[in-house]
Chain A
């Protein structure tokens, strides 16, 4: 069965410092991995995805994520956090070999990122 774990409910970072939001996954085949961000009273916004190729993926707003197959992880990173990055971040996975629903994403429970001035 597919699953996604975001082990931290909340991550606190000072503005200007690097940030990391952790995500690990479990799939039977090859993973397609995604990060979404959710601001209050807004829908989810796509940040970046890993399908294949380079393990370091760059996305919107200066975010990047590193795919690590041996550790089954896809951590979200940013070199210098901004107060405006404060939001809820969701990791999601789709099993490329899953014989059932195509396009069906499994989401983690979310990590609240708080960036203080």
Chain B
């Protein structure tokens, strides 16, 4: 079945540091890939998505590129802020009646 593997956290960075959170997936066919973010005490929000190979999703300075050859969708941001502290979830969804499969989440802590 489909699955998502993302790096264990927490990831601890200083403000303005470069961020990478790794995500790899296993899926049949051509899934859509997502990054969701969960701020403390809140529900999940879509951060960005990509629906086909080589697509780049971007939002709020975050980027991720759908790499079919390496089955990866790593999240990057050039300069993190304290307000980016949250839990980040990589997820995939197939077509048809397919459920959204989440990774285990990676907590990001950014200090001033």
Query: Is B truly associated with A?
Result: no
Question: Which residues in A have some Cβ–Cβ distance to B below 8 Å?
Answer: none
Question: Which residues in B have some Cβ–Cβ distance to A below 8 Å?
Answer: none
